[in-house]
A and B are shown apart, each in its own frame.
Chain A
Amino acid sequence: MSQYQKSDVKSTGNHVDLSAIKLADVIDLEFLQSFQDDFAKSVGLASVTVDPDGNPVTKPSSYTRFCDCTHSTESGDNRCAESHRKGGEEASRTGKPVIYECHAGLIDFAAPIMLEGRQIGTILGGQVLTDVPVDAKYRKIAKEIGVDEEVYVDAVQEIRKLSRDSIESAANVLFIVANSMSKTAYQQRKLRTASDTLNDGLNQVSATMEELAASATDISANQARLNAEITNVNTVTGKIDEVMDFIKDIADETRLLGLNAAIEAARAGEAGLGFGVVAQEIRKLSADSKETVGKIRDLTSIIKESVDKTVRMGNETTSTIEQQAAAIEEVTASVQEITSLTAELNDLANSK
């Protein structure tokens, strides 16, 4: 369980808190009751199941008249409780069924119900004898607890006699069954918690995957718009080039004008000298214009290159996004598979 606690704070609420587990959480008490009753009847051993504090969680099965009689006074009841506590304590300490003689001289056993090394309950039972009872002993006890001696001695005669081996075996059967029941139930509970945690985790993964898929679509759309915008820049650049062609044409025309003006000036001789200078200036200006056109052309070609590069990178991005989207789809499919497995696991964990 520790990895769940570490990996996600939210799942701490899901993990099985061992210290809070009660017997009723891991054993179906109704089932335990009928098992205990049937067992008591068939073997002839009385039994009751108590929680770690000694409070009964089942009704007593096949209690003897002798014991009912013992319990009938406050003193007897207290001594019984003390005796049970001691037996339970011993059982808890050893983690195994314990056979002992109770305060009223009967043979009892205490079988602890353990879960992960912790006691969650005890099956107490017995109310039998291994030998023929000696009246004097029971008369003394009757006196001590304040019950009628004759009734008490009479009742003790009804107590069933079993060999110590039989008692031990019976105690063992109860111990094994109760413990394996609680262990199984506990494992199932752990399984349920794990499958719940797994399910929660998968739901989160699913949600995240959906978000990822959505954002991949967004990015893809954005990239497409970006590409369109950038292509638009190229169109505008093309138009600038067209304008530059026009300006260059004007510059060429101006230069020709300058040349022809120089020719006219030369023909005019002395009178054309000043005009010749003007013609020269016009030629210079047209040369400047042409040079400027060249510079602008260089710039627009840089813009074009840059745009082409951007478009190429944009296309790469688009294909990367497509790959990512495909990967997300694959993951989503895997998650769905795992989710259905988890559902099966959950059914298994929740089946009785």
Chain B
Amino acid sequence: MSVQLVVFALGTDEYGIDISTINGILRAKKFKIQSLPDTDKSIEGIINLRGQINYIFNLRTKFNLVKKEFLEESKFIMLNVNGSTTGCIVDEVTDIVKLDDQDIQLAPEFINTCNSSYITGIGKLEDRMIIILDPQKIFAKEINMIE
């Protein structure tokens, strides 16, 4: 078995999400983000995408990385989560890759105990290491709060 991943970057780190869970990619600078008052700080705000309101999460905040202004290349990766479309901001979508099962090392148990187990594994692509995320789980907590 193999899996096709959309690879994106936050700083110098690379992350991957299963392509089949992705609805599409948008250029961040084309949208105005309306912030939502009194919500979890990982929630950047909402955008109006072709008449639909979508939540946008900030992965940098979520992952406790250095906060950064949006870049020229910043993208929204729109995910199909629990029947609705939710986006997250990334520095850049760098690649689409296909990884075989043997190139994926499953995440060790201790990681999964401390972070809602949204890291499913580490993809190895030559020298590159791609942290594979489960979109259903990443924002589960926040989405629960909103709903």
Contacts and interface: CB of A to CB of B under 8 A. Distances in A.
A263 B22 contact: yes
Contacts of A260: 24-25
B27 A262 contact: no
A252 B24 contact: no
A252 B96 contact: no
Contacts of A267: 19-20
B105 interface: no
A192 B6 CA distance: 102
Contacts of A263: 6, 19, 22-25, 96
A260 B27 CA distance: 11
B4 interface: yes
Contact of A259 (B4, B23, B73, B93): B93
B1 to A, nearest CB: 14
B interface SS class: strand
Interface residues of A, number: 11
A321 interface: no
Interface residues of B, number: 14
Interface string B88-100: 0000010010000
A256 B93 CA distance: 9
Contacts of A259: 6, 25, 93, 96
Contacts of B27: 252-253, 256
Contacts of B20: 266-267
Contacts of B25: 256, 259-260, 263
B25 to A, nearest CB: 5
A283 B6 CA distance: 13
Contacts of B73: 252
Interface in B1-37: 4, 6, 19-20, 22-27
Contacts of B4: 266
A263 B20 CA distance: 7
A interface SS class: helix
A267 B78 CA distance: 14
A283 to B, nearest CB: 8
A133 B25 CA distance: 150
A259 B20 CA distance: 13
A134 to B, nearest CB: 139
B96 A262 contact: yes
Contacts of B96: 259, 262-263, 280, 283
A283 B27 CA distance: 15
Greatest chain B CB density within 10 A among A266, A280, A283 is at A266
Interface of A: 252-253, 256, 259-260, 262-263, 266-267, 280, 283
Closest 4 CB pairs of A and B: A266-B19, A262-B96, A259-B25, A260-B24
24 contacts: A252-B73, A253-B27, A256-B25, A256-B26, A256-B27, A256-B75, A259-B6, A259-B25, A259-B93, A260-B24, A260-B25, A262-B19, A262-B96, A263-B6, A263-B19, A263-B22, A263-B23, A263-B24, A263-B25, A263-B96, A266-B4, A266-B20, A267-B19, A280-B96
